[in-house]
């Protein structure tokens, strides 16, 4: 099956044609293509790569499955997602990682790359089978106890030393559990005080970011900070990068746009970890993404079933959907960010951080993972239209700029005219 994409603005720059040969590779010409996509006026970017997705399978297939999450990813323009390890059972063995990989292949809509747990059962004590996961066919490179912080500094140090041997990285959910109490459910500040909700302060994140960049320096290893949410974390990252410390960081679309005042309606849709922060933090995160202090956008797509989310605010589950809306949120939050920069933060940089080869580029000879975007479309989000199994969509009713029109994964069209192919 060969493909020609005509007239796309490649990386938002000049209009050109893209050709895919029958092995799914971008080539300079195909004489009589089997399919032609008219991409006049559309921007072509390399298929997006999400460093941080919760697919819930195994264990919570009522909230999402690898198939339904892959559908949401394709609709969002993604070609690869890293599936977080906080499933049930946890992805803490090579067998568990291989199951996720193979279910992703069966779904066939995006590459599903398993993230391995740092510690057995995410308990924060003994290291999981990091080496076996890395050497398995799943070739796990990113390890995370996400949902929980690797809070024991000694365990974090050992994990960093261990992953260095095979070029792995530890992705840290930075949240000091002694500063963010067990009942903390939002940002600690003026709004939480007014609403009478127990909060956690930005410094609970910042102390872990600061500790972990020092551990990365000490071990000479590589650390990645998941879902950075505060201006203080940005300052630490800026300093650490200036020192040459091997640290990377991601920000979620929601932390680039939504603020803690949304909690005044006590709607648990807006309950997420880390919590929505004040304007000053959002502003600092936008700047940090634009200037490269934050390397990547990652969705932290966190689907939850109704019966886990529809509770009083303090009792509801943390997390919000993100895959289908990520690109439009980034475009809306940072309207001046060039498409080439969007391609960097949503595709090339995450592929590089995750060690995923064959993603993040539209160069000739690359595997054809392409997303075609209508750059100035305005779309009002309807949570009922989502292909995710969950409905905890914080963007419902909002109008966002730009729209994913077609997604091509490995030369195959997975989304055509805004619908699953």
Ligand X SMILES: NC(=O)N[C@@H](CC(=O)O)C(=O)O
Binding-site residues for Zn(2+), please? 52, 54, 146, 173, 227, 300
Q: Smallest distance from the beta carbon of 378 to Zn ion, in angstroms?
A: 29
Closest listed residue to residue 298, CA positions, set 144, 416, 194, 191: 144
Tell me how far apart the alpha carbons of residues 233 and 21 are, in angstroms, rounded to a whole number: 45
Binding site listing? 52, 54-56, 86, 146, 173, 227, 273, 300, 304, 318-319
Tell me how far apart the alpha carbons of residues 7 and 348 are, in angstroms, rounded to a whole number: 23
Assess contact for 138 and 100: CB atoms under 8 A: yes
Question: Among 58-66, 94-102, 168-176, 260-268, which window interacts with Zn ion (CB under 5 A)?
Answer: 168-176
Nearer to Zn ion, 173 or 403 (CB): 173
Tell me how far apart the alpha carbons of residues 174 and 247 are, in angstroms, rounded to a whole number: 13
* HSE-up (13 A, CA, CB side) for residue 159: 34
Give the residue numbers annotated as catalytic, written as ranges: 300
Per partner kind, with CB cut-offs from 5 to 8 A, the member of Zn ion, ligand X, none near residue 318 is ligand X
Q: Does 205 bind ligand X (CB under 6 A)?
A: no
Binding mask 219-258 for ligand X (x = CB under 6 A): ----------------------------------------
Q: What is the DSSP letter of 396?
A: T
Backbone angles phi, psi at 28, to 5 degrees: -85, -15
Q: Smallest distance from the beta carbon of 319 to ligand X, in angstroms?
A: 3
Question: Among 278-286, 292-300, 350-358, 397-405, which window interacts with Zn ion (CB under 5 A)?
Answer: 292-300
Nearest residue (beta carbon) to Zn ion = 173
Q: Smallest distance from the beta carbon of 108 to ligand X, in angstroms?
A: 25
Beta bridge partner(s), residue 6: 38
Structure tokens at 182: 């067990």
Structure tokens at 271: 């309950």
Q: Smallest distance from the beta carbon of 148 to ligand X, in angstroms?
A: 8
Binding site listing for substrate? 54-56, 86, 273, 304, 318-319
H or E element at residue 340 = helix 339-343
Q: Smallest distance from the beta carbon of 210 to ligand X, in angstroms?
A: 19
Number of residues binding to ligand X, judged by CB under 6 A: 11
Q: 300, 308, 324, 374: which one contacts ligand X (CB under 6 A)?
A: 300
Question: Helices 203-219 and 153-164, interaxial angle, to 10°?
Answer: 40
Interaction residues for ligand X, span 58-97 (CB under 6 A): 86
Number of residues binding to Zn ion, judged by CB under 5 A: 3
Q: Smallest distance from the beta carbon of 183 to Zn ion, in angstroms?
A: 18
Structure tokens at 111: 């590459």
**Residue 10 CB-density burial (10 A; 0-12 exposed, 13-18 middle, 19+ buried):** buried
Q: Does 129 bind ligand X (CB under 6 A)?
A: no
Tell me how far apart the alpha carbons of residues 76 and 371 are, in angstroms, rounded to a whole number: 9
Binding mask 307-336 for ligand X (x = CB under 6 A): -----------xx-----------------
Structure tokens at 183: 């009942």
Q: Does 111 bind ligand X (CB under 6 A)?
A: no
Q: 173, 254, 277, 331: which one contacts Zn ion (CB under 5 A)?
A: 173
Tell me how far apart the alpha carbons of residues 345 and 360 are, in angstroms, rounded to a whole number: 10
Assess contact for 229 and 274: CB atoms under 8 A: yes
Closest listed residue to residue 8, CA positions, set 329, 371, 348: 371
Q: Does 300 bind Zn ion (CB under 5 A)?
A: yes
Q: 26, 51, 302, 381: which one contacts ligand X (CB under 6 A)?
A: 302
Binding stretches for Zn ion (CB under 5 A): 146, 173, 300
Given the rule CB under 6 A, which residues bind ligand X? 54, 86, 146-147, 173, 272-273, 300, 302, 318-319
């Amino acid at each position: 099956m060969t493909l020609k994409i005509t007239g796309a603005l490649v990386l938002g720059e000049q209009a050109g044609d893209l050709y895919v040969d029958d092995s799914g590779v971008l080539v300079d010409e195909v004489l009589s293509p089997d399919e032609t996509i008219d991409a006049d006026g559309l921007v072509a970017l390399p298929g997006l790569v999400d460093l941080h997705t919760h697919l819930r399978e195994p264990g919570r297939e009522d909230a999402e499955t690898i198939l339904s999450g892959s559908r949401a990813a394709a609709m969002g323009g993604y070609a690869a997602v890293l599936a977080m390890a906080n499933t049930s059972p946890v992805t803490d063995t090579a067998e568990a990682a291989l199951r996720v990989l193979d279910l992703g292949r069966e779904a066939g809509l995006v590459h599903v790359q398993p993230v391995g747990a740092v510690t057995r059962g995410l308990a924060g004590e003994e290291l999981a089978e990091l080496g076996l996961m890395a050497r398995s066919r799943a070739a796990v490179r990113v390890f995370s106890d996400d949902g929980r912080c690797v809070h024991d500094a000694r365990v974090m140090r050992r994990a960093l030393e261990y992953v260095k041997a095979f070029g792995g990285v530890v992705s840290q959910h930075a949240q000091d559990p002694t500063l963010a109490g067990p009942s903390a459910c939002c940002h600690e500040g003026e709004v939480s005080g007014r609403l009478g909700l127990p909060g956690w302060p930005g410094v609970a994140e910042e102390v872990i970011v600061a500790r972990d960049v020092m551990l990365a320096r000490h071990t000479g290893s590589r650390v990645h900070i998941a879902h950075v949410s505060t201006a203080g974390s940005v300052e630490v990252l800026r300093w650490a990068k200036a020192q040459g410390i091997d640290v990377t960081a991601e920000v979620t679309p929601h932390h680039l746009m939504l603020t803690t005042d949304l909690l005044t309606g006590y709607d648990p849709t807006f309950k997420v970890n880390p919590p929505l922060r004040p304007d000053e933090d959002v502003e600092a995160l936008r700047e940090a993404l634009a200037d490269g202090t934050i390397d990547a956008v990652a969705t932290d797509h966190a689907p939850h079933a109704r019966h886990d989310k529809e509770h009083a605010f303090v009792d509801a589950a943390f997390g919000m959907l993100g895959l289908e809306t990520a690109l439009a949120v980034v475009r809306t939050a940072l309207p001046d960010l060039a498409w080439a920069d969007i391609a960097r933060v949503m595709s090339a940089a995450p592929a590089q951080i995750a060690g995923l080869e064959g993603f993040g580029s539209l160069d000739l000879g690359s595997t054809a993972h392409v997303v075609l975007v209508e750059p100035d479309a305005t779309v009002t989000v309807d949570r009922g239209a989502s292909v995710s199994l969950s409905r905890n969509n914080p963007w419902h009713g909002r109008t966002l700029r730009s729209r994913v029109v077609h997604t091509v994964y490995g030369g195959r069209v997975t989304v055509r005219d805004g619908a699953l192919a």
